[in-house]
Chains A and B, each alone.
Chain A
C-alpha cells in the first residue's frame, strides 16, 4: 500500500509570494492533518480535515489555509510568505479522526 505522498518536496519562494502544497493520503484514509516543523518551535499542528471539513486549526495566522477534496487529497496554502514560514511542512493521514497518523515525507519550504 502506498504511503502518504507530498508534492513538491522542495520549494524556494521569496517574501510576499504565496505557495500551495499538496498531500495525497494513504488509500482509504479520510483524515488529513498538517504540521509545521521548525528547529525553534518544533512540530506544531496546523489543521485537520475529515470528509472535506476542517475540524480544527492550530494557532497560526489566517495566511495559512487549507482544503480537502472529495478524494481525500488535501492542499494547504500560505499567502504573503514571511521568512519565518521557512519550515518542513508535514502531512499526515489516518483512517479516522482518532487513529494513528502516518506522515508523508514533507515539503521543505525556504523563503528568501
Chain B
C-alpha cells in the first residue's frame, strides 16, 4: 500500500524567511504532484514532477524530486503572506488507475 508522509504538518513562519516542506512516499511512483488549497476552496495544481532530479519553479516556490530517496521537497523562498495555504503532495503509483494518494497536507501560515 502506497503511503505518503508530509512534514511538517503545521508551519508558522515570518515573511521574508525560507523554508522547505518534505514529502516522502513508500513505493515507486510514476509521478508526484504538489497542490495548494486555500481555506474553503478546492485544490490548485502547482507542479507535476515526472522524473528523478526534476526541478520546477514558479515564483517563490520550487519543487524537486529524488526518486531514489522517494522524496520530494517544496521550497519557499522569501515567503510572503499570500503564500499562506495548505500544501499537499500527491503520488500517482502507476497507470493512474489507483488515483492519487495524498499526504495529510502542510498548513502554512506566513505572518507579516
Chain A residues at the B interface, C-beta cutoff of 8 Å: 31, 33, 35, 42-48, 55-56, 58, 90, 92, 94, 96-106
Contacts and interface: CB of A to CB of B under 8 A. Distances in A.
Contacts of A100: 33, 45, 48
Main secondary structure, interface of B, reads: strand
5 A-B pairs closest in CB distance: A45-B99, A97-B96, A43-B102, A103-B43, A56-B97
A53 to B, nearest CB: 11
Contacts of B104: 42
Interface of B: 30-31, 33, 35, 41-45, 48, 88, 90, 92, 95-105
Contact of B105 (A33, A42, A106): A42
**Which of B43, B44, B48 has the largest number of chain A CB atoms within 10 A?**
B43
A103 B74 CA distance: 20
Given A47-B99, A48-B99, 13 more contacts: A35-B102, A43-B100, A43-B105, A44-B102, A45-B98, A56-B97, A58-B99, A90-B42, A97-B96, A98-B95, A103-B35, A103-B43, A106-B42
